[in-house]
Amino acid sequence: MNNEYNELIEERDLDQDIKLRQELIEKAKELQASEDKNVYSELAKIQKEWRRIPNYDSAMDAKLNEEFEAVVDTIYAKRKWEYQGNETIKRDLIDQVKGLVNPDNWSKATSEIEELMNKWRETGSAGKDTDDNLWNEFNEARQEFFNNKHQYWEDLQAKFDNAREVKTELIEKAKSYVDSQDWSNTSAVFKDLLDQWKAVGNAGKEFEEKLWSEFDEVRQQFYAKRNEYYDELHEKQGVNATSKKELVDKAKEIVGTKEFTKENTQLMKDLSAKWRTIGSSGKDENGLWAEFRATMDEYFNGLTEYNNKRHSEWLQRMQETKSRKQDMIMNQKRQIKRLQDEIATMYSQREIDETNDLIEEKKEFIEQLEKEIADIEAKLNKQ
């Protein structure tokens, strides 16, 4: 057997095999610098050719084998480094996918998932077994994303259905208030309905715009009627404000005369009565009323002061009249006493009778004065 092998070796050209080995080494070195993805399949072919060349157990064989193995080791070392780099890249892609399984924006996340898938395809191998394990983990994360996305859309559709139902009810409720003339309370109702509308969420692209259009149309019908009412109201309030300003000016004119006559007092009362017949003047109401009230107060305070003064003067006159009449009584009594004393010295009956008559007249006059004093005291007691 060995003889046959030796004979086979002899038939080959040693120099030719050395040259062939050197050529294979150069091919291997070219692969060493190549970025072609087929580097390792090409290297396997070169290794297969290398093994077909007989080993002559020569120093040259040993040297060439050592050089060839060094090149092969370098290539495989590079592959190991590439595997490690690709594994790092793929693990990072896996982490990125896991970070997207419950996103805030599903559309954006879907694009990102697709981009990560493209990057995965572009990333080289990390070794068969490692590739299989990494792919399983990567694909499992992708499937979790798509399962969650499917569930999200199912839940969203349920929300759309619920929102559509609630918004339809809100539209019907709005319609029931559209003709209300309780403007303030109904405005609050429509505001509450709008808040509920916003809180319900979207009813989906297919229905949202149509529902909103119908709901807003009802709202605008109410607001148009309300605005028309308030436009008319503000116009009336403007007229009322003008009328009330005229009353204020008339009242001030009367106050300016400082004449507290019955006629002026009646005019002021008439102005007050007329004020009550005029409707609200809106935003000017408080200011106009304060001005009118102050003018009325000024007049009637002045009237009270005027009446108090007149009353005081009347009291003084009454007291003076009473005192004067009391003095007159005292004077009449003194005269009576004097006449009575004079009767004692009289001899003529006629003179005595005339004096007695005069005394009686004076007594009657005293009675009259006392009645008048009593009337004055009665009047004073009523004060």
Closest CA to 265 of 228, 226, 230, 306: 306
pLDDT, position 37: 67
CA-CA distance, 331 to 337, in Å (whole number)?
10
- Confidence band of 295 (pLDDT split at 50, 70, 90): very high
Q: How many CA atoms, within 13 angstroms, populate the side-chain half-sphere of residue 169?
A: 7
**In this prediction, what percent of the chain has a pLDDT beyond 70?**
95
pLDDT for 54-87, tens place per residue?
Answer: 877 778 878 888 887 887 777 777 777 777 888 8
pLDDT, position 329: 94
Residue 154 pLDDT exceeds 70: yes
Instruction: Say which range, 127-131, 254-258, 262-266, has the weakest mean pLDDT.
Output: 127-131
Residue 10 pLDDT exceeds 50: no
Amino acid at 351: E
Q: How many other β-carbons are positioned within 10 Å of the β-carbon of residue 235?
A: 10
Amino acid at 159: K
pLDDT for 304-334, tens place per residue?
Answer: 998 888 889 998 999 999 999 999 999 999 9
Backbone angles phi, psi at 176, to 5 degrees: -70, -15
pLDDT for 163-201, tens place per residue?
Answer: 888 889 999 999 999 999 999 999 999 999 999 999 888
Q: Which residue has the higher pLDDT, 18 or 285?
A: 285
Closest CA to 297 of 248, 242, 245, 241: 248
Q: Which residue has the higher pLDDT, 57 or 238?
A: 238
pLDDT, position 194: 92
Question: Read out DSSP for 224-247?
Answer: HHHHHHHHHHHHHHHHHHHHHHHH
Residue 106 pLDDT exceeds 50: yes
Residue 250 pLDDT exceeds 80: yes
Residue 9 pLDDT exceeds 50: no
Q: Which residue has the higher pLDDT, 111 or 40?
A: 111
Chain-wide mean pLDDT for the chain? 87
- Confidence band of 2 (pLDDT split at 50, 70, 90): very low
Mean pLDDT, rounded, for 259-270: 93
Q: How many other β-carbons are positioned within 10 Å of the β-carbon of residue 244?
A: 23
pLDDT, position 5: 44
pLDDT, position 48: 87
DSSP-assigned letter for residue 292: H
pLDDT, position 36: 63
pLDDT, position 355: 92
pLDDT, position 15: 81
pLDDT, position 3: 45
Residue 335 pLDDT exceeds 90: yes
- Confidence band of 11 (pLDDT split at 50, 70, 90): very low
